[in-house]
Structure 1
Amino acid sequence: MNTASNSLSQLALQRFKKNFWGVLSFWFIVVCFLIAIFAYALTPDDSENANQMHLPIHSKAPGFEVMMLHLPNQNPSEEKSWFSQLFFGKQFTGTEIPINHYSFTKDELRIVTYNEGEIVGLEKSYNLAETFPKATSAEEIKKKYIQEKTFLLGTDKYGRDLLSRMLIGIRISLSIGFVAVFISLVIGMGLGAIAGYFGGKVDAAIMWLINVTWSIPTLLLVIAITLALGKGFWQVFIAVGLTMWVEVARVTRGQVMSVKEMQYVTAARALGFGNIRIIVKHIIPNILAPIIVISAANFAAAILIESGLSFLGIGAQPPMPSWGAMIKDHYSYIILGKPYLAIIPGLAIMSLVMAFMLIGNALRDALDVKA
C-alpha cells in the first residue's frame, strides 16, 4: 500500500496543484524573488540604487529613446568585487549625458546636449586624450562611449531609468514582507503558544497585552515605532514586524487551547516530556496550517504598510528605490498628463499583494482538513 500518497501533506499538495490561481501566484512570487536577488544583473542601469540621473530627459514616456554619451570617471575609486557588484550594484563609474548629435575634430569631441522643441541644446567640446584616455581612435570612442539608449518604462522626474528602479525596488517589498512575517511568527507563536498552553494568569496577562496592541491603529503604531527607532531601512522592518504579531498570537493561542488536551499531548506528558518540548515538538507542528495562511496574508499586509510608510516619507530613504516612494514622487503627475509614472509602481504593488492573497486563499483551501 502506498501510504505516502495518502498522507495529509500529499493530499494538501494535490489540492493546491488543482488551484489555478494559487499555482500561478506561486510561480509569480518565485519569479519576483529571483528578480529581487539578481536585480542588478537585469537592470539597464546597474549603478548603486539605479541612481544615474539625466535631468534633461526627465518624465519621459515608456519606450523613449535617446543618444547617450558616457564620460568615464577620471578618478576611479576602489572597485567593488564581482560578487558585490552583482548584488549591490556598481559604484559611480562616470557621467551620462543625453545628446542630440555629435561630431569629431582632430583633437576634440563636440556635442549638442539633448533638448526638445525649438530650444537648441548647449554645445560642448571634450578633449579626446584627456576625456577618453583609454580610447585610441574616434571609432573606438563612438563604439564604446556613444550609444542609443531605450528606456522601456520611461524615466522618473529626475531622469532615472524607471525600469531599473522598479526591479531594484522589489527587493524592499519582498524583504520587508519576509522580515516582518519572521518577526511576527517568532513573537506571535511564542506568546500565543505560552498563553494557550499554560492558561490562567499567564493567559490573562498575554491577552491583556494582545488586546492593548490590537486596539492601537496599525499604521499609527508603525509610525510611532519608526519615529522612536529613527528613519531607515531596517527600522521599518522591525516596526512592521512588531505590529503584525497580534493576529498570529491570537490564532496560535486558540489552536493550542484546542489541541493541548488531545491524546498525543497527554501521552507526551505521561512520558515525562517537558512543557517546552511538548509545545515545540508536538503541538506547533500540528497547528501550522492556519498560521501559514495568516503568514501569507501578513506578507501582503507588510508590503502595503511599507508602501504607505514610504509614501509618507518615513519608509526607505532616498536614493534607495521603493515603490511607495515612487508613487509619492509622481502622484501629482496623474493630473499633469503623465499618469504612468505613478500607475506603474501602483500596479506592481497591487500585483504582488494580490499574488500573496491568492496564494493564501489557495493554501487555506488545500490545508482545510474538512475538504
Structure 2
Amino acid sequence: MSNNSGSLTQLALQKFKKNFWGVLSFWLIVSIGLVSVFAYVIAPDNSQNANQMHLSIHSKSPGFKVTLLCFPSELDIEQSFLSQFFYGKLKTDTEIPITNYKIEKQELVYTEYASDGLIGVDKSISISRFPSNDYTAFIKEKTFVFGTDKYGRDLLSRVLVGSRISFFIGFIAVFISLVIGIIMGSIAGYYGGKIDTLIMWFINVTWSIPTLLLVIAITLALGKGFWQVFIAVGLTMWVEVARVVRGQIISAKEMQYVTAAKALGFNDFRIITKHILPNIMAPIIVISAANFAAAILIESGLSFLGIGAQPPMSSWGAMIKDHYNYIILGKPYLALIPGFCIMILVMAFMLIGNALRDALDVKT
C-alpha cells in the first residue's frame, strides 16, 4: 500500500514538472520568499522599515542619482546581527542630499540639493566632526533604481521590505485557516447529525458576511497592527477549507478502509488523522494555494484602506494608497510598481494552484 502511495506521489510530481507555468510559478514564489527573508541584506536602504527620508529628493524618477553627505552620530547603539537581519539597522546618522562641496579653512562647505531648478542653501561643518578627519568616507553617490517615493525614501528598498508582509501573510493566514477549517470540517463531516447541522449553520453565517467587512471588524477588535492583520485574515478564510474537508470526509468515511479501521477498534481521532485526512489532502492543497492569493489581496486592500500594516512599516498595499494620486500627476510608477508586484505574486499562487489541481487529479 505504501508503494502504491509512493508511486502516485511520484506520478503527481512528474505531471507537475511537465507543467511549465506551474514550475515557473514555483520558482518565482521561492525567489520572492528568499527576497523577503533577506530583504534587509539586499536592500540599498537597510534602515528599519527602509524609512530613511530625504524630502528634498521626493518623487524622483527611476535611475535618479544624487550625492549624499552623511553626518556621523555620536550615539553608540549596540544591535545584534539577528536584530539587524530581521528588523533592519538602527541608524542615527543624518544623510543630506547635496549638489557640490569644497574645503575651506578646515571646514566642509556644501550646497544642499534643491529640486525644480532652485539653488540650495550653502552650509558648513567642521572636518573635526568626522572620524580621523576623513570626510571623503562620508560622501557617496547613490542611485535610486526605482526612484524615490513622496517622502524621499528609496522605492526599491521599500518594495523589497514590503514583500515580507505580502508574502508571510499568506503562510500565516493559510495556516490559521487550515487548523480551524480542518478541525471544524472533520467534526462536521465525520459525526454528522446535529453536530453537522450546528457547525454548518455557523459556517453559513460566517460565509454570509462580506470578507472585507469581517476582516475590518476583527482588525478593529484586535487593534491595528502587523500581527492583528495576519490573524484577522486567517480567521475569515477557514470556512472554505471547512466546507471542502466536510464534503471529502462525508465521501471518505463510507470507504472500506474506514470500515476496517473501525472494526480494528481504532478511535475516531486516529481514524480521522491517520486514515481519512491523508487521503483527502489533494483538494485541501489546491484550495490552500488559492487562499494564499486571496490573503495577499485582502491584506493589500486593508493596507490601502489604512487599517492594515501601519506606517512607517512598508507594505505594497500602503504604497499604492500613498501614491495612487500620482497616476494622474505624471508619475504612475510610484503606484504601478507595488501594484505590479502584487499582481505577479497573486498570479504565481493561482498558477501553481491550477498546476497542483491538474497534477493531483486522479482521473488524468
TM interval, short-chain normalised? over 0.9
Seen in structure 2, the aligned counterparts of structure 1 residues 145 and 343 have a Cα distance that, compared at 3 Å, is: same
Following TM superposition, the consecutive aligned residue runs of length 4 or more in structure 1 with deviations greater than 3 angstroms are 3-6
- Alpha-carbon distance between aligned partners in 1 of 2:117 and 2:238, rounded to the nearest angstrom: 59
1:50 and 2:43 equivalent? no
Q: How many residues are matched?
A: 362
Distance 2:169 2:116 in 1: 44
Contact 2:21-2:352 at 8 Å conserved across structures: yes
Which secondary structure state, in structure 2, belongs to the residue aligned with residue 338 of structure 1?
coil
Structure 1: 5+ residue stretches without partners: none
Contact 1:38 1:86 in 2 (8 A): yes
Give the TM-score taking structure 1 as reference length: 0.96
C-alpha spacing 1:218/1:232, structure 2 compared with 1 (3 Å): same
* Cα distance, 1:275–1:6 mapped onto 2, change above 3 Å: closer
Deviation at 1:86, TM superposition (A): 1.8
Q: Do the aligned partners of 1:112 and 1:121 also contact (CA within 8 Å) in 2?
A: yes
Preserved contact between residue 159 and residue 338 of structure 2 (Cα < 8 Å)? yes
Q: Counterpart of 1:154?
A: 147
What pairs up with 1:1-371 in 2 under 5 angstroms?
Answer: 7-77=7-77, 79-129=78-128, 131-132=129-130, 134-136=131-133, 140-142=134-136, 144-371=137-364
The alpha carbon displacement at 1:177 in A equals: 0.8
- 3-state DSSP class of the match of 1:189? helix
1:100/1:277 Cα in 2 relative to 1: closer, same or farther (>3 Å)? same
Q: Distance in 1 between matches of 2:288 and 2:182?
A: 11
Deviation string 1:98-147 (CA, Å, 9 cap, x unpaired) is 00000012321110000134421011101111x21x233xxx321x1001
- Could you tell me how far apart the structure 2 residues matched to 1:135 and 1:359 are? 56
- Equivalent pair of 2:71/2:94 in contact (CA under 8 Å): yes
Unmatched tracts of structure 2, length 5 or more:
none
Residue 4 of structure 1, CA deviation: 7.4
Distance in 2 between the 1:220 and 1:184 partners?
18
Contact 1:4 1:10 in 2 (8 A): no
Q: Deviations over 1:176-215 (max 9, x none)?
A: 1111000000000100011000000000000000000010
Q: After superposition, what is the alpha-carbon deviation per residue over 1:156-189, rounded to whole angstroms, capped at 9, x for unaligned? A: 0000000000001000011111110000000001
* 2:132 aligned counterpart, secondary structure: coil
Contact 2:75-2:92 at 8 Å conserved across structures: no
The code of the aligned residue for 2:246 comes to R
Moved more, 82-91 or 3-12: 3-12
Higher alpha-carbon deviation: 357-366 or 112-121: 112-121
CA contact (8 A) 2:56 2:115 kept: no
8 A contact 1:176–1:302 mirrored in 2: yes
Structure 1 CA distance for aligned equivalents of residues 219 and 64 of structure 2? 38
Q: Distance in 2 between matches of 1:80 and 1:29?
A: 31
Aligned to 1:100, the other structure's residue is in SS state: strand
